Chain A
């Protein structure tokens, strides 16, 4: 068993309290960081190769280095805690069980690019994580770990929780900024990038919770240690959230690059009811599905990209042989339809169209040309939208249609779903389907 870094304190009683955190060496990294020059921290994080845990895998140190040093505008750090990618439930636990680690990491990051204001954008449904963060911020403020002249260093940092209100798209960094400013969460055109013009017009970095939670460890233990935990350019451990048809679903911290089959069949105890594996979505609902034959892949950014999918948020959704893949596609399309901001044409019009076609196929009203049309619509959306939400719909749908084409054709030919939608886990209870699907 490898070392647990981010989840080390999860089992400790009162892990969310400052006293517990400090007893375990908490805020030592912050002290060390404040004695360093900001540029040295950026260099350290760059050297570690820490990549963004939100989904895109962009090197965090590089992102910080894009902030112009000579800007006279206030700089901001936004902590992206708008965890909403279906399948993902990692940041929530970090905030609930180790909020000070998030705050310490955010403080070091803000210091590294000289920001004096930070906002933790937490999705509105996360009441407990928000309460824990706010309590932790209060503790930190009292202990002069945030606020004015932190620990006598001369560095000021204010940090607040900013609640979301139910919009997946706000996980996109420019939509998050818009929402943080009090607007509809509609992504901005880039350029300008947030590092130059971001929150309130100032240079802004948006970092994921998990990414920041790693920063204190890197400061404490060095870049090399971090790199040694995973394959080249994919350092560290990773939080993998496993859901679906496995025996032991849950959150696991494993070395970056752990093979997917090992996660499913080793760590998670294999398939529930020992049924056959059919498919795995490896990195959250936006990432292309892998078939049972494709799961020998290592779960890191580069290996999954090579396999035609993505690590995304590390959210593994496991599906057994009884799963209707048309139903899966329909459910995902329903989600993206619900979450499209409606700003740009291809996403606003294309995503609901894809959903409607999938509803038709699943309910036995599909046409022979529908699968081809779906693929063309995916092509017409992807790359043509303001933000990646359109891509996030197109990529998984394309993979599902391509890899499970026979299931789509079977629905169309038989004019019904051969499986009858999602399986009822409680077959002894007869449940009548309600009108909406």
Chain B
């Protein structure tokens, strides 16, 4: 699938500013990839090519970097992303059970997106919030001390947001 991408002037400007912070443009690679991902929602191959061109780097090297870091998404996620931690501290407090609970509710496995393209569920490693376990990121925001009830509320909120604001 070929994605046509267009990078907006704000992202372009932000990347130019970031490049100026380093003695070599290559060092701006990871922040630049973040900026592009923030705009597109993920990093299609065309985005990798674009960043490689912008920083004058071999495409293979950029792809090597993108595929190394788990936060870079190489497939298109759903409109909302749930990233549930199941590392030790969270799982002692029910992290794995929450993951399973979400799988049941959303009828998907970790790594999958609901058939309506609404929610992508991912199982992630330690998020650095172990004292308030179990935790989950919802579109990059921390939700802590979770229980099945609070998870239900979060899903309900996401649902309401969409129905209220119309499907984006």
Contact = CB atoms under 8 A, between A and B. Distances in A.
A361 B72 CA distance: 33
Contacts of B132: 249-250
From A158, A160, A243, A433, name the one whose CB has the most chain B CB atoms within 10 angstroms: A243
Interface string A245-275: 1000111000000000000000000000000
Interface string B22-36: 111011111101100
A319 interface: yes
B46 to A, nearest CB: 19
B155 interface: no
Interface string A48-92: 000000000000000000000000001000000001111111011
A182 B65 contact: yes
A167 interface: yes
From B68, B103, B137, name the one whose CB has the most chain A CB atoms within 10 angstroms: B68
B130 A241 contact: yes
B128 A88 contact: yes
A84 B110 CA distance: 21
Contacts, number: 176
Interface in A181-195: 181-185
B97 interface: yes
Contacts of B95: 422
A317 B87 CA distance: 11
Interface in B86-131: 86-89, 91-97, 99-101, 103-104, 109-111, 123, 125-131
A89 B88 contact: no
A431 B27 CA distance: 45
Contact of B71 (A83, A85, A125, A180): A125
A88 B34 CA distance: 24
Nearest to A182: B29
Contacts of B127: 125
Interface string A314-352: 010101000100001001100100110100000000000
Task: Say whether chain A's binding surface is mostly helix, strand, loop, or mixed.
Answer: loop
Interface residues of A, number: 66
Contacts of A125: 71, 127-128, 137, 140
Given A243-B89, A434-B109, A88 B31 contact: no
Contact of B70 (A167, A180, A182): A167
B58 interface: no
A381 interface: no
Interface residues of B, number: 57
B88 A331 contact: yes
A226 interface: no
Contacts of B123: 436
Contacts of A245: 92
A166 interface: yes
A164 B57 CA distance: 19
B69 A200 contact: no
Contact of B97 (A84, A249, A424): A424
Contact of B100 (A74, A85, A319, A434): A434
B131 A251 contact: yes
Nearest to B92: A244
B147 interface: yes
B126 A431 contact: no
A166 B71 contact: yes
Contact of A426 (B27, B30, B109, B148): B148
B94 A315 contact: no
Interface string A161-185: 0111111100000000001111111
B64 interface: yes
B13 interface: no
A285 interface: yes
29 contacts: A74-B23, A84-B126, A84-B128, A86-B130, A87-B88, A89-B131, A92-B128, A163-B30, A165-B71, A168-B126, A182-B24, A183-B26, A184-B64, A184-B65, A185-B69, A200-B24, A243-B92, A243-B130, A243-B131, A244-B89, A281-B88, A422-B94, A422-B96, A426-B148, A431-B148, A434-B99, A434-B103, A436-B110, A436-B123
Which A-B residue pairs are the 5 nearest by beta carbons? A165-B69, A182-B29, A166-B70, A166-B71, A243-B130
Given A162-B27, A181-B26, A182-B24, 15 more contacts: A84-B128, A86-B89, A89-B128, A125-B137, A127-B140, A160-B21, A167-B68, A200-B23, A249-B131, A315-B130, A422-B91, A425-B147, A426-B147, A432-B100, A432-B104
